[in-house]
Structure 1
Amino acid sequence: MRPVSALRVRTRLRAAPGAAWALAVLVALTACLAAAFPRALDRYADAGLDRALALARPDRTSVLVTAPQPDFGLSPGEREEALRPDPLAVRYAGAVAAADRRAPLAVDREQSTYGVRTTEGVTVPEPWLPMPSGIPPQFHFAAQHGLGDHARVGSGRLPRVTGAPVTARTGALEAAVTTETAGRLRIEVGSVLHVPRVGGRPLTVRITGVLVPRDPDGAYWSTQPVLREPSLTRVPGPPGADREQYWLGALLLAPDAGPALLGTSGMPVRYWQLAPDTGALHAHDVDRLVSAVAALESGPGLREMRAEVDPLADVGTDLDETAVAFEGLRSGIGPLVAVAATGAGTVAGVVLLMAGGLAADRRRAELALLRARGASLRGVAGRLLAETAVVALPAGALGLAAALLALPGARLG
């Protein structure tokens, strides 16, 4: 039998257009579903990871890099200089670069920040502040970069530094509070707080503004929740005892007021707060993400971070624990997904085989006549393959394209 020509194939298709269209629809649907199934799983897994990260909250998922206050062996001027915005910004760029090198971890620069804050609350014994158990409230102080970009002024204005640069001996500062802190601690614009200092006169802090966070649930405000809203804290004691309570809040200083915290008893530290870019994280990269975070906390990544930031810098995050918990949940439903995929694939295969069997049975007499005229099995098979491919290949490509358009964002592979 001579090779199958395109003219013969076209003639055959014109002779049975209904069967050709039925085959095309069947192949297109099968190809579309076959391509859509894994892409849908990819998208649902990514959505599940996003949900897990959102439920974990930024105080667990952000990467917090901290460095102790400068060595006491340095001069007072050198210690204060290390807490100013420019040196902190240089180290912030290095910290971001060190984290970005740990793919698939990526830093969301919009929600990341840096600054100086106290690690211990400082008691402020103002008689007009609320005292639930007769205990004065405590405050954390934070000079955090980007305050004006992440909050709008509800009343008053943003804090600023006027006159000479702030030092550890500066006697007066300006600060702001969030609306939550202002409401619960009865603070308003113009309020004055006298903050005790080590070996000197109290630091006078004047409230110049009440701020409304633009994205209160974002990493900028929620990595350290006390900056956004105060909390009632219990005095340490035995479990179950009726312990006394006191308020713990935060005062937000101007970004260049960090050196003043060296004069307080709050044990100030420098920090670089790196929010993960959740849009760049995918469920299929969870294992790599866990390894990247482990390297940052106690491996080569920590060494690189310390080279960029400070030899004594420490990295902390619960991002890897969140990812591991998500992976455990996904592994639990993996067998169910496998059963569904196997069942769907089996049904699709059976349908195609039945369609092929029906087509062969319908053309049994024609094929017998070709064989009686001397056509070889190879020739008959080639003719059938050509007739089928002319319909099936474009239909399969169309089904694949439909799946890609309907489910964007998943892996092409």
Structure 2
Amino acid sequence: MRGVLWRVRVFAGQFGLLAALVLAAGLLITAAPRLANDLTDRALREDVARLPYSARDVTLNGQPDPRDAAPVGPAQAALPVHRDRMPAPLPGLVSESWFAAGVEGAGFAPAGPRTRFSLRTQAGMADRVRMTAGRWPENGPQVTAVEVAVSTATAEQLGASVGTILKIDPATGVGAGAGLPRVAIVGVFEPLDRADRAWDTLRLALVPFPGLPGIPEVPPAVMPVTDGPGLDAAARSLGPVSLSWRYRLDETRLDGGSLQSVINALSEVKRTPPAPGLSTSTSLDGTLVRFDGQLRAVSALLAVVQAGLVATLLGLIGLAAALAVERRREEFALVRARGGTIAAIGGRALAESLVVLPLAAAAGWFAGSWVPGRPAATGGLVVGAGVVATLAIPVLAAASQRRLSFTARRQDLVRHRPSVRRLTAELFFLLIAGLGAYLLRRRGLSPDGSVDPYLASVPVLLAVGAAIVALRIFPWPLGQLGRLAARARGAVAFLGLARAGRGAPVTIGPLAVLVVAIATGIFSGVVMSSIGEARDRAADLEIPADARVSGYAFAPAVTDRLAAVPGVTAVAPLTVDPATSYTTAGGITSTVQVAVVDAAALARVVAASGTGVPLPAALVDARAGRGPVPALVSPDVAAEAGGRGVATVRGYGYDFTVAAVADTFPGVDTASGRFVVLPRQALPDPTVIAPDGFFVAGAASPEALRAVAAEGAAADVTVTTWAAHRRDLDQTGANEVLSFTFTTGTVGATALALLAVGFTVLAGARIRGQVLSRLRTLGLSGRQGRGLLVYELVPLVTIAVLAGGLVGVLLPRVIGPALGLSSFTSGAAVRTALDPLLVGAVLVLVAAALAVAVLVENVINRRMRLGEVLRVGEEGS
């Protein structure tokens, strides 16, 4: 054991280099998935947290038994019961829950127009308000007038105060025989915290809706609140009670590991509610499904990038082990000459490796385990990397001594014609790589969503295959360059290209490592630029303007008022009826999404905003007439309509003819694949269809647009700029994990590529030192010596960049169907896009690689004392 430790100390530099590479491999394998998991969990929680309550909460809706005279109390008691009956893991994720009940009616305020009336009660409301006048309602079992409380804003809109009696008509004929209920205002309140989530479903109770002047179909609306007995009493006259149990899922308890189980549980509770007669309302499962699609895609990308980096590190470990064996070649030959067996040489090297390298792998795993994030099942990969590194020197040492040799072999000569056995192995390897890529395109992602080792290995196989092909192709052009250099003045270029042409340092080991590293980095950059280009197209389709104003039932004058806002150059109104009906020419009626857009105005908006989205001329040029209006329809609708049909929008039917067919249309959600787009300017009376939104071109302030639009809207108004929407595409979902993957791939591949060049210089340092020492005696200067190294390495770096770049650019196209990248682009197809900055970065990498090579060479020459290399190098010959 003492001898083993002594040899480890003597060759500390070689073992230290191997240990550093093994530690880096263990750290990468352990830390990268943990960081990705941490970013995934944070992104998931942020996505869920920004959802509105109607989308993220699980709400159970139902109606009580008509025979139950007082249903509110028992229904409130069922709040924890329904929670516990939901499928796992949902009960453990619930952080808050609310019970609410309500009835609808239509009332006449003491001074004001007819008002839409709804009465609500919710558990715990009395503790969340401050009474500014009167008291909180206290209804008994036999009430003659239902006591209610209203907010200050509601009291002002109704012109009512404490003691006012409201006459309420039932919304349906249910309570007509029971007499009209008398509702007494006994209190006026202000909420203690308007941001309290308990008020999410009661916003109308805090801020009443004033109605739209001049539009009788959109009257004012108020929501007084009462207690449970008061609602029971009101229900006897106003009609059936609507019950709801709302459960808030705590986003801090969600993580990517439990994502699929939560999705399955939400789907199950929607199919089978906790009690008969209930229905479940939530769209959280849809959000989680979309996130899961992104997570699967980014996991596949990370697996590809990590496999490329780990393969590069293992290749560097192999180069470092080969360098260590070469430095100890005379030692192993001497042991062999003294009667040592090949097994003894391998065991001697194994004992030395066992002292250092397993500890380095364990240190890398331990350091990676401190990185924040959920642990990933990568312990086996760390063990595998440690085993490969530990066996590298023993295997190579044993292989180098298969034949006893007492003379030093010439390291400046290589065999140009490979054996038939090697050519067969290379062809078989290329066949496996090509077959793997073909099968991967056919199969797609792993069905269970886990990390797919097959997907991760195919890009590495393709990169190594490209290195093999490049190694067989490059001698001919290199020979031509050598002939040109022989005719030129000076011997540096000729000598450098001649050495490169004889295989120094362009061999399969360094070349394969460089190609894998460069392919991984370029693949990361190409995917990043391709996704960015697809997101630009997706943003253009969703907002083909500088801004989009969204709401509901805008007044007709809003279009002109928006056009008058400073900075606005064009406005196009849009109305979307997401689920209406249309009738085909054959009389078949089905559900479809109908959009009404002023196509001529939209063309002006698109031109002014510069989005460049093409619009069909049939819609843009359409004008009002007596015949059917031209329409753009989706392919599914075109196959059904038979050339024409009747579309219903807000109760109005319009005959249309199919003038254009397209998979998408700007501003229209085409996920369902069933839509009809009608030109608003061609309708007989477009003013009867109130716009739901507007596309605006110009540099107007979003606040100014919102303020103008809010004056004539029946609902909250939102303004989304193109830039903000494009930014959201980069920041929502699993995009942080995607950015981390790209950064890891580009930075890691660049660092490892430079390291591979350094190893290549180290591998040929001894023989190169001899050559330089001889040439120095012939008058070679130090500058020319560095030029000789550059000429030797330029072919290696050039071939690696060309082969790795070609693989990196083609990989997204080859394995794209297995990655699911469209989940990051709102469904827009991801096309291969090459960023010019990436080309510049590759050129910088080439220059940096040559600079690193020269720097390493200078350090080696100083340590070897170049003037003595000729004598030292010839001692063993």
Q: TM-score, normalised by structure 1?
A: 0.75
1:44 pairs with one of 39, 46, 49: 39
Give the superposition deviation at 1:211: 0.3
Amino acid across the alignment from 2:145: G
1:278 is aligned to 2:251: yes
Letter in 2 for 1:125: F
Q: CA deviation at 1:290?
A: 2.8
**Structure 1 residue 43: Cα displacement:** 2.6
Q: Which residue of the partner structure matches residue 168 of structure 2?
A: 196
Cα distance in structure 2, aligned partners of 1:382 and 1:70:
83
Q: Does 1:167 align with 2:152?
A: no
Change (3 A) 1:351 1:140: farther
1:83 paired residue number: 72
Q: Which amino acid aligns with 2:27?
A: C
Q: Flag the 1:209–1:115 CA change in 2: closer, same or farther, 3 A.
A: same
Correspondences of 1:305-324 after superposition (within 5 Å): 305-306=274-275, 311-324=276-289
Matched, 1:268 2:268: no
Q: 1:186 to 1:242 in 2, by over 3 A?
A: closer
Task: Report the Cα offset of residue 296 of structure 1.
Answer: 1.1
C-alpha distance in 2 between matches for 1:184 and 1:395: 75
Q: 2: distance between equivalents of 1:412 and 1:193?
A: 68
The structure-2 alpha-carbon separation of the partners of 1:333 and 1:393, relative to structure 1 and needing over 3 Å to count, comes to: closer
Gaps of 5+ in 1: 130-134, 236-240
User: C-alpha displacement at 1:37, in angstroms?
Assistant: 1.7
Aligned equivalent of 1:386:
351
CA apart distance, 1:172: 3.9
Give 2:98's match in structure 1, choosing from 91, 103, 113: 113
Which structure shows the higher helix fraction? Answer: 2
AA aligned opposite 1:351: L
**1:16-35 to 2 correspondences below 5 Å:** 16-35=11-30
Residue 332 (structure 2) aligns with: 367
1:238 maps to what in 2? none
**Residues 117 and 400 (structure 1 numbering): CA distance in 2 closer, same or farther, change over 3 Å?**
farther
1:326 to 267, 291, 301: 291
- How far residue 295 of structure 1 moved from its aligned partner, in angstroms, is 1.5
Letter in 2 for 1:296: V
Per-residue CA deviations over 1:73-111 (Å, capped at 9, x if unaligned) read x4xxxx21x312xx3354112111112x333x3455442
Corresponding residue for residue 132 of structure 1: none
- Secondary structure of the residue aligned to 1:56 is coil
> 1:248 is aligned with what amino acid?
A
Structure-2 change in CA distance of 1:68 and 1:44 (3 Å): same
Inter-partner Cα distance in structure 2 for 1:117 and 1:392: 70
Structure 1 residue 116: deviation in Å?
Answer: 1.9
- Aligned residues between the structures: 370
User: What is aligned with 1:102?
Assistant: 88
**In the aligned structure 2, how far is the partner of 1:328 from the partner of 1:259?**
46
What's the offset of the Cα at 1:47? 2.9
Provide Cα deviations, 1:172-191, integer angstroms capped at 9, x if missing partner.
424254x8x55984889848
Question: What pairs with 1:62-77 in structure 2 (closer than 5 Å)?
Answer: 62-72=57-67, 74=68
Amino acid aligned to 1:88? A
**What's the counterpart of residue 296 of structure 1?**
269
Cα distance in 1 for partners of 2:289, 2:41 equals 14
CA RMSD across the alignment: 3.5
Determine which of 191, 200, 206 is the counterpart of 1:222. Answer: 200
Instruction: Tell me the alpha carbon deviations over residues 187-234 of structure 1, each in whole angstroms, 9 at most, x when there is no partner.
Output: 898484625164144111323421033644x4x333565456545667
Partner secondary structure for residue 406 of structure 1: coil
Query: Deviation of residue 384 (structure 1)?
Result: 2.5
Q: Over alpha carbons, which structure has the higher Rg?
A: 2
Q: Work out whether residues 9 and 387 of structure 1, in 8 Å CA contact, stay in contact via their aligned partners in 2.
A: yes
Cα gap change, 1:9 to 1:193, in 2 (>3 Å): farther
Task: Give 3-state SS (helix, strand or coil) of 1:116's partner.
Answer: strand
* Structure 2 spans left out of the alignment, 5+ residues: 170-174, 379-877
Letter in 2 for 1:352: I
Alpha-carbon shift at residue 127 of structure 1 (Å): 4.3
Residue aligned with 1:166, SS: coil
Give the Cα separation in 1 of the matches to 2:158 and 2:320.
Answer: 77
Q: 2:108 aligns with which of 107, 125, 131?
A: 125
Give the one of 190, 213, 217 matched to 2:193. Answer: 213
Structure 2: which amino acid aligns with 1:92? L
Q: Deviations over 1:335-361 (max 9, x none)?
A: 544442333223222222222222222
Q: Is residue 189–residue 210 contact of structure 1 (8 Å, CA) maintained in 2?
A: no
User: Which residue matches 2:700?
Assistant: none
Counterpart amino acid of 1:102?
A
Distance 1:9 1:339, change over 3 A: same
SS of the residue 1:114 aligns to: strand
| Cα distance in 2 between the residues matched to 1:226 and 1:107 | 31
Maintained 8 Å contact 2:134/2:187: no
What's the CA shift string for 1:272-291, capped at 9, x where partnerless? 11122222333344443332
- Residue 142 in structure 1 maps to residue 120 in structure 2: yes
Whether the 8 Å CA contact 2:110–2:160 is kept in 1: the answer is no
Which protein, 1 or 2, shows the higher relative CO under an 8 Å CA cutoff with sep ≥ 6?
Answer: 1
Match in the other structure for 2:493: none
